[in-house]
Structure formats: structure tokens, C-alpha cells
């Protein structure tokens, strides 16, 4: 024990949620849950602590370096999950024979990453995940992106406020291959190119050389990043058949049929920092480009086998609560969330307390929300305090108990109506 004062701040990057913060969090979580349910995703949950081995990653991936890990008292090497995807893969692998594929699962998971804390990045965040396992169809990508767009709409945003930037690792691989860059180098190229905008091009070129590319390969990698649309990608492929390009075009068509084509843009620079993605990848940003990514995801067809499961195709996304809350506050303003109002019930003296308790119980039994005063209160104080959180108020005095009735005051209009205290 020391005498030094404990700080009232949470540890750096960790988060407290005061009641006013919970209003925003609930708005965001409500939209996550409603959108997931509307699209037929089943909720699941899992432990926050995982074996380090499951979460540990190859060098070069930022997330791998950011894992909070520790030895427990029995020397087990454990970690706090940094994302949900390895856990989801583990859970699916455990029941792979019993599950009727495709599986459509959703969760809001608390995740921990030892990140440099900046705008939009904390060391703790809640991440909504929606994943479809066991479907090769591009419709799975369309469904996953569509459900996230639906959640943003439910929060009060429109495609004028955000865009989902879409690309394809398969397409990039195809172009790298026709450019003479062998497939075993592609993963390194993806991780290096993903750093564009975050580090100088010179350093990225260095990473590419270290990854085994010659000068022509490095030039080609940067050239690929200038592609503006799928047609441009096809041109770079010199007319060769391209599953990557076909899939992207199909996704745009399906988004049109589903009614969210206006939310999608092709963007070759979206690569994603996680190495398990294999096909279409996407990331959502606010339209003004002020904030970090709102959500990100893609197809990851090899993760189940990478952790020792049977092969299974998969696609999904992670949608954090931090950036979208910043975006909502900026676009909708503080008035967009208000606490749910209730009925305030008070009493002037201890003799009326039981009557107030009975009234509160009766109103609550009918489904009402009641804030019951915890001690006798004078009328002026009662009504001024009630005004902030209640839409109506009842103050029970000695005459009311004698009469068996009291007056419920509508705090917006000042109107009163008689209610029975029996
Ligand atoms: P991710 O891009 O690392 O993907 O994270 C997804 C989203 O989580 C980000 O777009 C952001 O909204 C939020 N996020 C991540 N880190 C932080 C942080 N430190 N602070 C605040 N928000 C953060 C994944 O995690 C993949 N596992 C997603 C996925 C699911 N892919 C397939 N299924």
C-alpha cells in the first residue's frame, strides 16, 4: 500500500461511460442490433480472454503487435481479444460438423488493442461484427455491407455522409501475377501497400524491396495504386479473364438491386492491414474524409484452415463504436440523443411514503417508468428537479392520502389530471 493518491482517470486509452455517454452508446448499439436482426443474423458471444496462440500473428501485422497478453497464475499464455474474427473461427471450427452452413452470426464485442491513442482510436473499443461463413456467393459480401449501411441509416446518416470503399485482393493478386510478381510475395506487397498514407512512399518502397520485389516490381506496385475503376484494372490485366474484376462488378450490381449502390465506391487503395483477407475488401469512411475508418471487412477464405479447422469460405466486417459516435456527434449534434423520460413520484412527509411506493409500483406494473423520490420533498424542489428527467410528476401530500386521489401534472403543458391512489 502506498499513500499516493489514485488517479480518477481510467488507464490511458480505456473508457468510462457516464450516463450521457451511454445515450450515444445505446443509440449506436440499438442500430447494430436492429440491423443485424433485420437481416437474419443470429447473435453470439464469447470470452474476452483467449489463448495468445490463437490471436498471435505473423510479423508485419499491426494488430499482432498490439495484443495485450499475460501469463495467468498457472503460466498459461493468455490475451485480451483485439478483434473477434479468430474467436469466431475457433467457435465455428469447434462445431463445424454440426453447423448448417451458411452460418450468419453477429455480436458486439469489447476489444483491446495497445494502440497509440488518437482521434478515433482507443485501447478499448466495442466492435460490431457480422460474418457469413460457408457461402462463396458475392451476395454474402452484399449482405454484409448492406447490413452495415442499414445500421448507419438507422443511426440517422445517409450515403451523403459516408462511402464504403471497395476493392479486391484477388484482383490485386491477378494484376501482380500478370506483372511477373510471384504469388508467394503478394501478402508482403499487400501489407506494404496498406501503409500508404501512413508512411512515406520511400519507406514503402523499402518494404517492398525487403519483401523480395525488384525495381520493376516496386514501380509496378505503385502503378497499380493509380487504377481508378474496374475497367482500368481490366486494362492492366491486358484483357485476361479476371475473377476479381467479375466479383467486384457483381457486387456493384447486387448493391444496386438492394438499394445501396450510392453508398459504394471502387477504391484500389483499400487493402486492409490484416493478412487473412483473400477476396473483396472494403472500408467505410465519412464522405468528408475527416475521420478514421468507420468499419472494415472482407472475404477471408483461409482462416478456418489456418487455425486447424476444415476449409470454409467466410466474409464479414468489424464496425467500431468510437469513430461512428464521433461522426454522429458531428453530423447530428448533441440533441440527437435524449434520456428516456419517466414519471416522478414524490411525497411531502414520511406519512405519505407508503402511498407513493404503492403508486410507483402500480404505474411500473402497467409498463410505466417511474422515478420514486427517496425522501420527503418540498413542492418547489420536487417540481424543479422533476422537470429535467420526467414528463409528468405526482407529489402526494396529507390531503391526497385522505382523499384517496392525487394530481398528476403534465410538465410540458402544466395540465393536471386526477389519479386514484387505491
Ligand atoms: P479492423 O479494420 O481491424 O478489422 O477493425 C474494424 C473496425 O473496428 C475499424 O474500422 C474501427 O471502426 C474499429 N476499430 C479497430 N481498432 C480500433 C481502436 N483501437 N479504437 C477504436 N476503434 C477501432 C477487424 O478487426 C476485422 N476482424 C473485421 C472483420 C470481421 N473482418 C471479417 N470479419
With the most atoms of ligand 1 within 8 angstroms of its CB, the residue from 112, 127, 324 to mutate is 127
Query: Which pLDDT does position 241 carry in this prediction?
Result: 94
Rounded to the nearest integer, the mean pLDDT of the chain is 95
Instruction: Please state, in angstroms and rounded to a whole number, the distance separating the CA atoms of residues 405 and 421.
Output: 5
Rounded distance from Cα 30 to ligand 1 centre (Å): 19
Dihedral class, residue 197 (left if φ above 0, else alpha if ψ from -120 to 50, else beta): left
Instruction: Please state, in angstroms and rounded to a whole number, the distance separating the CA atoms of residues 363 and 357.
Output: 10
- Among 169, 175, 172, smallest CA distance to 240 is for 175
Q: Quick one: 151 exposed, middle or buried, by C-beta within 10 A (0-12, 13-18, 19+)?
A: buried
Rg (CA), the chain: 28
Give me the domains of the chain, ranges plus CATH numbers: 19-42+89-335 (3.30.930.10), 342-420 (3.40.50.800)
- Please tell me if the CB atom of residue 83 comes closer than 6 angstroms to any atom of ligand 1: yes
State the closest ligand 1 atom to the C-alpha of 121, by its place in the atom list counted from 1.
20
- Please tell me if the CB atom of residue 320 comes closer than 6 angstroms to any atom of ligand 1: yes
Which residue stretches of the chain have pLDDT < 50?
none
Q: For 361-389, write each residue's pLDDT tens digit.
A: 999 999 999 999 999 999 999 999 998 88
- Please tell me if the CB atom of residue 125 comes closer than 6 angstroms to any atom of ligand 1: yes
Instruction: Please state, in angstroms and rounded to a whole number, the distance separating the CA atoms of residues 269 and 172.
Output: 10
Instruction: Please state, in angstroms and rounded to a whole number, the distance separating the CA atoms of residues 328 and 27.
Output: 10
Query: Which pLDDT does position 3 carry in this prediction?
Result: 62
Query: Which pLDDT does position 56 carry in this prediction?
Result: 87
Query: Which pLDDT does position 239 carry in this prediction?
Result: 87
Amino acid at each position: 500500500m502506498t499513500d499516493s493518491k489514485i488517479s480518477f482517470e481510467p488507464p490511458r486509452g480505456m473508457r468510462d461511460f457516464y450516463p450521457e455517454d451511454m445515450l450515444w452508446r445505446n443509440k449506436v448499439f440499438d442500430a447494430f442490433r436492429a440491423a443485424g436482426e433485420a437481416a437474419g443474423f443470429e447473435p453470439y458471444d464469447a470470452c474476452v480472454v483467449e489463448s495468445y496462440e490463437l490471436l498471435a500473428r505473423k510479423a508485419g501485422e499491426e494488430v499482432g503487435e498490439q495484443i495485450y497478453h499475460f501469463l495467468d497464475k498457472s503460466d498459461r499464455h493468455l490475451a485480451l481479444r483485439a478483434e473477434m474474427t479468430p474467436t469466431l473461427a475457433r467457435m465455428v471450427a469447434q462445431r463445424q460438423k454440426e453447423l448448417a452452413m451458411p452460418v450468419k452470426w453477429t455480436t458486439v464485442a469489447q476489444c483491446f488493442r495497445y494502440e497509440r491513442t488518437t482521434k478515433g482510436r482507443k485501447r478499448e473499443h466495442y466492435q460490431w461484427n457480422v460474418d457469413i461463413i460457408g457461402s462463396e456467393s458475392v451476395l454474402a459480401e452484399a449482405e454484409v455491407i448492406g447490413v452495415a449501411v442499414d445500421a448507419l441509416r438507422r443511426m440517422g446518416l445517409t450515403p451523403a455522409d459516408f462511402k464504403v470503399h471497395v476493392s479486391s485482393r484477388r484482383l490485386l493478386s491477378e494484376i501482380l501475377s500478370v506483372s511477373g510478381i510471384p504469388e508467394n510475395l503478394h501478402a508482403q506487397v499487400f501489407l506494404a501497400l496498406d501503409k500508404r498514407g501512413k508512411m512515406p512512399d520511400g519507406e514503402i518502397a523499402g518494404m517492398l524491396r525487403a519483401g523480395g520485389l525488384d525495381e520493376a516490381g516496386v514501380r509496378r506496385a505503385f502503378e497499380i495504386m493509380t487504377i481508378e475503376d474496374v475497367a482500368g484494372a481490366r486494362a492492366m490485366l491486358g484483357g485476361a479473364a479476371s475473377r476479381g474484376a467479375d466479383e467486384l462488378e457483381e457486387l456493384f450490381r447486387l448493391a444496386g438491386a438492394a438499394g445501396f449502390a450510392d453508398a459504394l465506391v471502387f477504391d484500389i487503395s483499400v487493402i486492409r492491414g490484416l493478412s487473412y483477407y483473400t477476396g473483396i475488401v472494403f472500408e467505410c469512411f465519412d464522405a468528408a474524409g475527416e475521420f478514421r475508418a468507420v468499419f472494415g471487412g472482407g472475404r477471408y477464405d483461409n482462416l478456418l484452415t489456418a487455425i486447424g479447422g476444415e476449409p470454409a469460405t467466410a466474409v464479414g466486417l468489424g464496425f467500431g463504436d468510437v469513430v461512428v459516435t464521433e461522426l454522429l456527434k458531428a453530423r447530428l449534434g448533441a440533441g440527437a440523443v435524449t434520456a428516456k423520460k419517466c414519471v416522478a413520484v414524490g411525497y411531502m412527509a414520511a406519512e405519505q411514503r407508503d402511498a407513493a411506493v404503492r403508486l410507483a409500483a402500480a404505474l411500473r406494473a402497467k409498463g410505466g417508468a417511474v422515478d420514486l423520490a427517496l425522501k420527503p420533498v418540498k413542492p418547489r424542489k420536487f417540481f424543479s428537479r422533476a422537470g429535467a428527467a420526467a414528463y409528468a410528476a405526482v407529489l402526494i401530500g396529507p390531503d391526497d392520502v385522505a382523499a384517496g386521489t392525487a394530481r398528476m401534472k403534465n410538465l410540458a403543458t402544466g395540465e393536471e389530471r386526477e389519479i386514484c391512489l387505491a
